C-alpha cells in the first residue's frame, strides 16, 4: 500500500481550483478527487505496517487552524516544467502539524523526510507543454486566491495507480483539537 498524509479541501475551494484547469496543452489536469494538500509522503507499506501507522498517527495532537491558497507556481526548470501548482502560505499551525506528523513517523521507523516542505496543491502534471503557454498560465493566474477555510482534521490516504493518474482514498481521519479545548 502506498501512503501519505494530507488535508482534504472543501468543496468551494475545489470549485475555485477547477476554474484554473485549462489552457496549457500537454497538461494532465488533476480532477476534483485528486486535489489535496500533502503533509507527508510515506511510501509503500505492508498490511501490518499500515495498521501500526494508523494507530501511530492517532497520537498527533494539533489545533485547528485556517488556510488560504494563493498564487500559482511550477516545479521544474524553466525549459522543463513538469508540474503546475497553487501555493499555500507557510502558516505556523500548518508547519506545526506537519512537524508533529513527521516526528511520529520517524519514531515509528520512517526515514526522516529529506526534502524541504513546500506546501502546495498540484493542479497538473506536464509533458512537453509549450513554455509560452505555461508562462501565460502563470501570469494570468498570479493573483489567484481561495479561502480562507478551516482545517479541522488531517487524513491518511492510500494511493492507487489509475489510467488518468493516481486514485486517492482516505483510509483514516484524525480530528484536530478545537483551539482552547483541552
Nine cell digits for residue 99? 512537524
Contact 134, 128 (CB under 8 A): no
Per-residue model confidence (pLDDT) at position 117: 94
CA dihedral over 37, 120, 4, 21, signed as positive or negative: positive
Residues contacting 38, CB < 8 A, separation 6+: 4, 5, 6
pLDDT band for position 174 (cuts 50, 70, 90): very high
Contact 79, 131 (CB under 8 A): yes
Question: DSSP secondary-structure letter at 16?
Answer: H
pLDDT in tens, 3-35: 999 999 999 999 999 999 999 999 999 999 999
Per-residue model confidence (pLDDT) at position 49: 87
pLDDT in tens, 69-98: 999 999 998 678 999 999 999 999 999 999
Q: Which domains does the chain have, with CATH numbers?
A: 2-175 (3.90.1140.10)
Kind plus residue range of the DSSP H or E element containing 132? helix 131-140
Kind plus residue range of the DSSP H or E element containing 153? strand 153-160
Per-residue model confidence (pLDDT) at position 79: 75
pLDDT band for position 182 (cuts 50, 70, 90): very low
Amino acid at each position: 500500500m502506498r501512503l501519505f498524509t494530507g488535508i482534504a479541501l472543501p468543496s468551494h475551494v475545489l470549485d475555485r481550483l477547477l476554474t484554473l484547469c485549462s489552457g496549457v496543452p500537454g497538461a494532465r489536469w488533476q480532477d476534483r478527487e485528486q486535489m489535496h494538500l500533502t503533509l507527508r509522503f510515506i511510501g509503500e507499506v505492508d498490511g501490518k505496517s499500515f495498521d501500526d501507522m494508523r494507530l501511530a498517527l492517532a497520537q498527533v495532537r494539533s489545533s485547528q487552524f485556517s488556510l488560504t491558497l494563493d498564487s500559482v507556481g511550477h516545479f521544474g526548470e524553466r525549459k522543463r516544467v513538469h508540474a503546475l501548482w497553487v501555493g499555500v502560505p507557510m502558516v505556523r499551525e500548518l508547519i506545526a502539524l506537519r512537524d508533529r506528523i513527521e516526528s511520529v513517523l520517524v519514531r515509528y521507523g520512517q526515514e526522516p523526510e529529506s526534502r524541504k516542505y513546500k506546501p502546495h496543491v498540484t493542479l497538473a502534471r506536464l509533458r512537453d507543454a509549450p513554455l509560452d503557454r505555461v508562462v501565460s498560465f502563470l501570469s494570468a493566474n498570479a493573483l489567484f486566491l481561495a479561502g480562507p477555510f478551516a482545517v479541522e482534521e488531517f487524513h491518511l490516504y492510500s494511493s492507487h495507480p489509475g489510467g488518468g493518474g493516481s486514485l486517492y482514498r482516505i483510509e483514516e481521519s484524525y480530528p484536530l483539537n478545537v483551539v482552547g479545548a483541552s
